[in-house]
């Protein structure tokens, strides 16, 4: 189990500044989140990861596990995409939102998982979009540190 704590590592501040800068520059900000309907009738648990979702009852719409934290919450003008698969594109309107706004380059940032960030990036590239990744803060927060550092 990772000891990753986004409040301790500074990831939230970094992503918040990234979002503020994007908004100030007039860029379209699109948030993605994973959530299933209460009771999980829309969950297809065809992988071990999704099986764990059903067992742990996490990411249920309306629960604390399915909301974007206040520090990074969508603001007026931002778009929100809810999806049920890794990456955000499968079965969602994300591609339509991006293409409808004339977007051809996407900056990908994730406070939770480098795996979902990588999946999103692969999806973007397969759709012909350019993906820029902001992982330095995340990966440095997850990297093993000498005793006493960051405590």
Strand partners, 81: 32
Longest dimension (CA), the chain: 49
Structure-token pair, residue 69: 């934290």
d(CA 78, CA 28): 7
Overall size of the chain counted in residues: 151
d(CA 146, CA 127): 41
d(CA 22, CA 25): 5
Nearest Cα residue to 39 out of 23, 18, 61, 20: 61
Cα angle value 102/88/5 (rounded, 5°) = 115
Listed by start position, the domains of the chain span: 8-142
Report the pLDDT value the prediction gives residue 67, as an integer from 0 to 100: 87
Per-block average pLDDT, block size 10, for the chain (151 residues)?
56 85 91 89 86 86 88 91 79 86 81 59 69 53 39 35
Helix %, strand %, coil % for the chain, to 5?
40, 15, 45
Report the pLDDT value the prediction gives residue 134, as an integer from 0 to 100: 62
Architecture per CATH, 8-142: 3-Layer(aba) Sandwich (3.40)
């Amino acid at each position: 189990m990772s000891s990753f704590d986004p409040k301790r590592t500074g990831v939230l501040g970094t992503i918040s500044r990234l979002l503020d800068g994007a908004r100030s520059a007039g860029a379209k900000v699109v948030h993605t989140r994973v959530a299933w309907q209460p009771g999980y009738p829309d969950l297809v648990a065809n992988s071990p990861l999704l099986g764990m979702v059903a067992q742990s009852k996490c990411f249920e719409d309306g629960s604390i596990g399915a909301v974007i934290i206040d520090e990074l919450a969508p603001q007026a003008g931002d778009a929100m995409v809810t999806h049920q698969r890794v990456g955000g594109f499968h079965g969602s309107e994300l591609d339509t939102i991006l293409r409808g706004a004339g977007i051809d380059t996407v900056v990908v940032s994730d406070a939770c998982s480098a795996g979902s960030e990588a999946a999103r990036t692969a999806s973007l590239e397969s759709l012909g979009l350019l993906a820029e990744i902001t992982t330095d803060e995340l990966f440095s927060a997850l990297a093993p540190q000498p005793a006493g550092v960051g405590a």
